[in-house]
């Protein structure tokens, strides 16, 4: 077996106060087999699949061998789930191998997800099954193509073991997740609940050192960090909305302090446009519906601000004032980012005009009225002629009136080529993900490979993957990634 390269682990998280984690190794699996590897990301980390070989990669990314320099640990955190305080959560099925510095100078965390039970498993088995691992692999790695900040999947390994879920025994898998950081709102909520001001300061220092160095010399670094995180969240959620992405489980333990999309459980891209669309089968109240995502992002930031109160200022009323001001910025930051993203989608590349949002909303209203496919509709909006776009709507007169108005606003034709670089042709559609999982479970990986390849060039039309699902193919619910 060829050897695994020694990575430049610096393990900053393992140097934090010990109440923030438990040291432990991943639990070995029976028969690890690598079924996916992100070569591009591997290259950035200095991990070359060809040279190392799949067998060694499978040993490492199943957790069967811990790489040299890693100090594996499960992190402690708390959180609000579906708006309710859940208290202690923590990595119940994940192990952080450590942080490394990439050639680019960036710091990233490498984490195994599905790597066995930890002290934070709360009765769970610590494992993941193949389905959600495939979903996270495909969706998270597609995100950067659309300019959406996200954790990435480096590798995915099947374990040769079964895990027991509601559906019965299912094949197990481990995902290797690479994130700027796994520090979340829930990390600070955990420290606040323990009234651990020193721990809070230590985590803030770590974040600023590694991910926000420009804030180091701020007058009040904690306030500066809060503001920076709020801005990143507002930008992130604006990008989700412009893509029709529904996260599905925006709990505070799934809100990253580095502004990346994290935790692809019951997530999905919308097919037919519906502002109140919900996918998650466990979200009975529709709390995490498409149109609620900005509001929930705002709420999560309020939870962060509250957890940071003791370090924002020595004097409580002053701290509350800092927190309130920062959180109150969110709606405007979000509105600005959303307008910018949508203006790009509509090919409005000139300076903003006051009626732009109204014009764009009118289009969305028409889409909603006819349950038009979100991605396909925006892709056809890019077309040079409007035949296929108009064919998506029942009221031809209304849509052609709207197109007329749009062209008047543009003062001429739209820029097809530029718009096609913004409105993707291929997204990780749910029915294709489900189909991919279904055959992969039976050992057929051809669809996975074809889909993954198409997702690498999502601004290019694809015969299969660009199509919207037929009524009968539409997936209405996604299940939690447990």
Query: What are the catalytic residues?
Result: 253
- The tokens of 473 are what? 């193919």
Count of residues engaged in binding ligand AMP, rule: CB under 6 A: 19
265 binds, among ligand AMP, Mg ion, none (CB under 5 to 8 A by kind): ligand AMP
Question: Out of 72, 90, 199, 259, which residue is the one contacting ligand AMP (CB under 6 A)?
Answer: 90
89 binds, among ligand AMP, Mg ion, none (CB under 5 to 8 A by kind): ligand AMP
Smallest distance, Mg ion to C-beta of residue 479, A: 15
Nearer to ligand AMP, 90 or 244 (CB): 90
Smallest distance, ligand AMP to C-beta of residue 79, A: 8
177 binds, among ligand AMP, Mg ion, none (CB under 5 to 8 A by kind): none
- The tokens of 32 are what? 């690890």
202-261: contacts with ligand AMP (CB under 6 A):
249, 253-254
Nearer to ligand AMP, 140 or 466 (CB): 140
Smallest distance, ligand AMP to C-beta of residue 467, A: 30
Smallest distance, ligand AMP to C-beta of residue 263, A: 5
Q: Pairing between strand 84-88 and 78-81? A: antiparallel
**Angle formed by the axes of helices 221-243 and 293-312, nearest 10°:** 170
The reply to whether 186 sits near ligand AMP by the rule CB under 6 A is no
The C-alpha atoms of residue 343 and residue 339 are separated, in whole angstroms, by: 6
Query: Which secondary structure element, helix H or strand E, spans residue 208, and what is its range?
Result: helix 197-211
Query: Which secondary structure element, helix H or strand E, spans residue 161, and what is its range?
Result: strand 152-165
The C-alpha atoms of residue 437 and residue 41 are separated, in whole angstroms, by: 23
CB-based burial label for 198 (10 Å; 0-12, 13-18, 19+): exposed
x/- mask, ligand AMP, residues 108-127, rule CB under 6 A, reads ------------xx--xxxx
| Count of alpha carbons within 13 angstroms of residue 434, beta-carbon side | 15
* Contact present, 173 and 157 (Cβ < 8 Å): yes
The reply to whether 254 sits near Mg ion by the rule CB under 5 A is yes
Q: How many CB atoms lie within 10 A of CB 72?
A: 22
Q: What is the DSSP letter of 119?
A: T
Question: Out of 99, 260, 263, 452, which residue is the one contacting Mg ion (CB under 5 A)?
Answer: 263
Secondary structure class of 14 (helix, strand, coil): helix
92 binds, among Mg ion, ligand AMP, none (CB under 5 to 8 A by kind): ligand AMP
Specify which residues 165 forms β-bridges with: 168
Which of 18-26, 88-96, 203-211, 438-446 is the region at the interface with ligand AMP (rule: CB under 6 A)?
88-96
Smallest distance, Mg ion to C-beta of residue 99, A: 19
Which of 93-101, 144-152, 223-231, 261-269 is the region at the interface with Mg ion (rule: CB under 5 A)?
261-269
The reply to whether 92 sits near ligand AMP by the rule CB under 6 A is yes
The C-alpha atoms of residue 393 and residue 372 are separated, in whole angstroms, by: 7
CA 244 remoteness from chain centre: 13
Smallest distance, Mg ion to C-beta of residue 79, A: 8
Residue nearest to Mg ion (CB): 263
Nearer to ligand AMP, 93 or 379 (CB): 93
Which of 91-99, 100-108, 204-212, 444-452 is the region at the interface with ligand AMP (rule: CB under 6 A)?
91-99
**Angle formed by the axes of helices 221-243 and 316-328, nearest 10°:** 20
The reply to whether 111 sits near Mg ion by the rule CB under 5 A is no
- Residues across the chain: 482
* Contact present, 11 and 99 (Cβ < 8 Å): yes
Q: Pairing between strand 152-165 and 33-37? A: antiparallel
Which residue shows structure tokens 């919900």? 278
Binding site for ligand AMP (CB under 6 A): 89-93, 120-121, 124-127, 249, 253-254, 263, 265, 480-482
Binding site for Mg ion (CB under 5 A): 254, 263
């Amino acid at each position: 077996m060829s050897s695994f390269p020694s990575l430049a682990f610096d393990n900053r998280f393992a140097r934090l106060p010990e109440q923030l984690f438990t040291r432990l190794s991943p639990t070995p699996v029976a028969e690890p087999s690598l079924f996916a590897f992100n070569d591009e990301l591997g290259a950035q980390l200095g991990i070359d699949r060809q040279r190392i070989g799949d067998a060694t990669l499978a040993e490492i990314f199943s957790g069967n061998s811990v790489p040299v320099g890693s100090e594996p640990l499960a992190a402690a955190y708390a959180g609000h789930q579906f708006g309710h305080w859940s208290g202690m959560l923590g990595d119940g099925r994940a192990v952080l191998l450590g942080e490394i510095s990439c050639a680019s100078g960036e710091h990233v965390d490498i984490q195994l997800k599905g790597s066995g039970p930890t002290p934070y498993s709360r009765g769970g088995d610590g494992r993941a099954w193949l389905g959600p691992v495939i979903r996270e692999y495909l969706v998270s790695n597609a995100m950067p193509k659309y300019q959406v900040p996200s954790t990435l999947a480096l590798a995915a390994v099947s374990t040769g073991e079964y895990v027991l879920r509601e559906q019965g025994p299912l094949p197990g898998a481990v995902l290797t997740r690479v994130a700027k950081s796994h520090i979340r709102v829930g990390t600070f909520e955990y420290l606040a609940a323990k009234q651990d001001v020193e721990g809070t300061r230590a985590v803030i220092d770590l974040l600023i050192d590694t991910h926000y160095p420009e804030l180091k010399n701020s007058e009040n670094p904690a306030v500066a960090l809060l503001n920076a995180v709020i801005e990143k969240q507002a930008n992130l959620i604006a990008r989700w909305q412009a893509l029709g992405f529904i996260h599905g489980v925006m709990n505070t333990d799934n809100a990253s302090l580095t502004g990346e999309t994290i935790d692809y459980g019951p997530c999905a891209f919308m097919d037919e446009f519906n502002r109140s669309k919900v996918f998650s089968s466990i979200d009975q109240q529709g709390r995490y519906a498409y149109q609620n995502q900005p509001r929930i992002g705002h709420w999560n930031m309020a939870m962060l601000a509250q957890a940071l109160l003791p370090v924002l200022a020595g004097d409580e009323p002053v701290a509350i004032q800092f927190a309130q001001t920062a959180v109150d910025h969110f709606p405007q930051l979000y509105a600005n980012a959303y307008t910018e993203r949508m203006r790009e989608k509509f090919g409005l590349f000139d300076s903003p005009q006051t009626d732009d949002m109204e014009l764009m909303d009118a289009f969305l209203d028409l889409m909603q009225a006819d349950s038009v496919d979100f991605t396909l509709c925006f892709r056809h909006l890019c077309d040079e002629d409007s035949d296929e776009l108009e064919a998506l709507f029942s009221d031809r007169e209304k849509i052609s009136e709207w197109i007329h108005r749009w062209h008047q606003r543009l003062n001429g034709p739209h820029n097809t080529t530029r718009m096609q670089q913004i409105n993707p042709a291929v997204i990780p559609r749910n029915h294709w993900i489900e189909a991919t999982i279904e055959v992969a479970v039976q050992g057929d990986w051809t669809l996975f490979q074809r889909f993954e390849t198409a997702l690498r060039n999502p601004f290019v039309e694809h015969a299969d993957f660009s199509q919207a699902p037929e009524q009968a193919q539409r997936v209405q619910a996604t299940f939690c990634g447990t």
